[in-house]
Amino acid sequence: MSEISSAEIREKVDEVYRTESRRVFATLIRLIGDFDLAEEAMHEAFAAAVEQWHRDGVPANPRSWLVSAGRFKAIDHIRRRVRFDEAQLEVAQRLEGIAGLNADKSDSEVEDDRLRLIFTCCHPAIAPQVQIPLTLREVCGLSTEEIASAFLTSPSTMAQRIVRGKSKIRDAGIPYVVPNRADLPERLDAVLTVVYLVFNEGYSASSGDSLTRKDLSEEAIRLGRLLLDLLDDPEVKGLLALMLVHESRREARSTTDGDLILLEDQDRSLWDQAKIREGTDLVEQAIASGEVGSYTIQAAIASIHAAAPRGADTDWSRIISWYNLLLQATPTPIIELNRAVAIAMRDGAEAGLQLIDAILTRGDLKEYHLIYAARADLCRRLGQIEAARSAYEKALSLTNQTAESRFLEKRLLELAQIQAQSQ
């Protein structure tokens, strides 16, 4: 075995943590049945990996090694807790035996563990406003701050929801299973919402230095495929189509320095045509079924963008027609905002600006940075430099994303240059 430095081992463990930690956690949940103990055991397993992999080498299957190490760490915890209670010690020994048998199955079942955990977190016994944040935290490892940002609420409020969800699972004895086919449809809406929010965080990270988190978007697509295998449902097809078409643009969305490139300015030759074809085929199947839901509509909109060889060739009238339908199905301010931008592209900046201002006048999305960024762009196009500057500054104050901040700062600099030239 070649000598590997401590730094190289630590880098390898960090890489495995980024790509595998939530899968390891989901499997430990199946084996142990306790959120907090599984989380603690997972972190201890990764800590042990730093030392043991340096001594013994990186195992052929790091994830299985970590699951096994985490299982033993959890059993050690249970033994320490109950070492003075013979009855409880017997329980711990039984758990060790059961966990051992389950661990033998982990290689074949691990791909389903995160899906199993999603359905657990989205159980009907858990309040709807708790299901999705709980899943994003426990299944996907998003921070409380990231989840709060996605829901436009405070981290403290979100933390309370997550704690309530874990307590409910424990106290109600909610099982860690994928429901049978008869029960799948009633559980599906919450699960689809979770998968889409995971994808969104991966496609456009709410905070941090990186514009995207490829691990999250790939995981969401994998979960979408698993769901489609479980249930041949039009909305599952629509969601998977939406994710694939969006993901097809990943390589064109930023420069080599990580700067944001808007859709209209992207090099479309970099778009992944295989993903576009697969997504377009899925959305056509979903539409043909006659059961057109919100994800299918959004996928149809994304497919129209993908079909345009140039930004100028985009069929904005068709996109607006789909947005009109989407607003009927899901009347939210964000969809209103997206429709307003589409109308601005077809009918002119003034038409879009009036719709955006109407949303803000109602008090909706007042803490959402993208509505101010959209308003600023339309004001800039109309030559309303001071209004554009004010809106860009507001957007900048609300974003936690480094690449978006750089983009907004660049726009402000351009406005300053325009003002200087006009004086």
pLDDT, one tens digit per residue, over 161-189 is: 999 998 898 888 888 777 777 777 777 88
More confident residue, 271 or 139: 271
Of 304, 385, 378, the closest CA to residue 337 belongs to 378
**pLDDT class for 403, splitting at 50, 70, 90?**
confident
pLDDT for residue 244: 98
More confident residue, 152 or 344: 344
More confident residue, 178 or 297: 297
Residue pLDDT, tens place only, 307-322: 999 999 999 999 999 9
More confident residue, 238 or 120: 238
* pTM greater than 0.95: no
d(CA 92, CA 212): 42
d(CA 348, CA 350): 6
pLDDT for residue 223: 85
**Among 49-58, 71-80, 238-247, 310-319, which is the least confidently predicted range?**
71-80
d(CA 58, CA 37): 25
Strand segments, DSSP code E, in 54-108 are: none
| For residue 99, pLDDT beyond 70 | no
pLDDT for residue 102: 44
More confident residue, 189 or 423: 189
**Mean pLDDT value across the chain:** 86
pLDDT for residue 82: 60
The proportion of the chain whose per-residue pLDDT surpasses 90, expressed as a percent, equals 48
pLDDT for residue 8: 86
Residues 344-371 have a mean pLDDT of 96
pLDDT for residue 108: 42
Instruction: Give the chain's largest Cα–Cα span.
Output: 85
Q: Measured in Å, how far apart are the chain's first and last C-alpha atoms?
A: 70
Residue pLDDT, tens place only, 216-274: 888 889 889 988 887 789 999 999 999 999 999 999 998 888 888 999 999 999 999 99
Looking at residue 179, what DSSP letter applies?
Answer: P
Six-digit token string for 292: 């057109």
Cβ atoms of residues 180 and 227 within 8 Å:
no
CATH number of 353-423: 1.25.40
